[in-house]
Amino acid sequence: MKIIDSIKFWINNARPYSIPMTFLSWLVIFCYSAKQGGNIICGLIALIGISLVHLATNLSDDYFDYQRLSCDEEFLNNSKEIKCRYLRNGQATIKDLRNVIILMLSIAGICGAILFFLSGWYVVLFAFAVLPIALLYSKFSSKGFGDLSVILAYGPLMFEGVYYVMTKTLSWDVLILSIACSMFVNTVLYAHMLMDFDEDVCSSKRTLCTILKTKKKALKFMSVFYITGYFSVVILSVKTQNYWYLLSLLTLPLVVELFELLKLYNEDKTILPYAQPWHYPLENWEQVKQTPNASFFLRFMFARNISTWFMLSICFALMIS
């Protein structure tokens, strides 16, 4: 039971609520590749490896952030309720965290090795491209390159990588599809960074939001990602003559509401809107809404859910075309 409890403990600390984005991104390209006669087993192995890299990346973010937190009292106080709680209260040490990151990446490496033998040497190229992003994401993020890292990792690298291991080819249509989906994945990260604006300023963490100087400008810039995502879908639907892709545009009203909720958050972090049916799923919401972080998590999970509906609509378009 100790092993099972330990696994649950670390998966929980690796923020599993962000995994739906990884799974949905994978599902889109998996469905696309399967329609092209791709190898389903290779696609499933890729999912295991991708998920482990994602969780390891979340933990590595904690690893580097905690090192900054532990020597910066102001940052420590300002981010107390959100970051690295399990390290602060002594449930785990920084060495434990490092070992778990290494273990997750090692298992992901085994998945990559299997895919190398099944699909070909391009797997090595994709692995070498993704690994630095996974290991150094926190560093890239603190220098303002977090968004670019996510767009590359969850866009062209994931989509072309999964498509390659399943079909042993690459595709321009897959590239366009990857841009659309990665933009929506990145909006989840961006919403998180926007709400962390004050904490990041206190810690001198350089993100795209802080580079833009003000919360108002940062919120406006978020529209660039959504517009690019929707525009890519329109291009793909015209190019492939699969107009079912345009169902994804039905998420537009939700995006508009998200902007309003984030605008309120910029003005007052304590404002907690009533959770509407279309905001769900909101994990453990009855407990979360009693905490000081409820306002943050409502908006964060709503941003995640918008991206989920967007990618589910893409999957639906693929399945019925």
Over residues 191-212, the pLDDT tens digits come to: 999 998 888 888 777 889 999 9
Task: Examine the pLDDT at 1 and tell me if it is beyond 70.
Answer: no
Q: Are 115 and 46 in contact (CB under 8 A)?
A: yes
pTM: 0.85
Map tokens 């009203």 to a residue. 253
In this prediction, residue 314 carries a pLDDT of: 95
In this prediction, residue 98 carries a pLDDT of: 85
- The closest of 286, 270, 293, 269 to 80, measured between CA atoms, is 293
Q: Are 181 and 32 in contact (CB under 8 A)?
A: no
Task: Examine the pLDDT at 84 and tell me if it is beyond 80.
Answer: no
- The closest of 225, 262, 304, 250 to 20, measured between CA atoms, is 304
Over residues 30-77, the pLDDT tens digits come to: 999 999 999 999 999 999 999 998 898 888 877 777 776 666 555 445
The pLDDT of 117-142, averaged and rounded, is 84
Task: Examine the pLDDT at 80 and tell me if it is beyond 60.
Answer: no
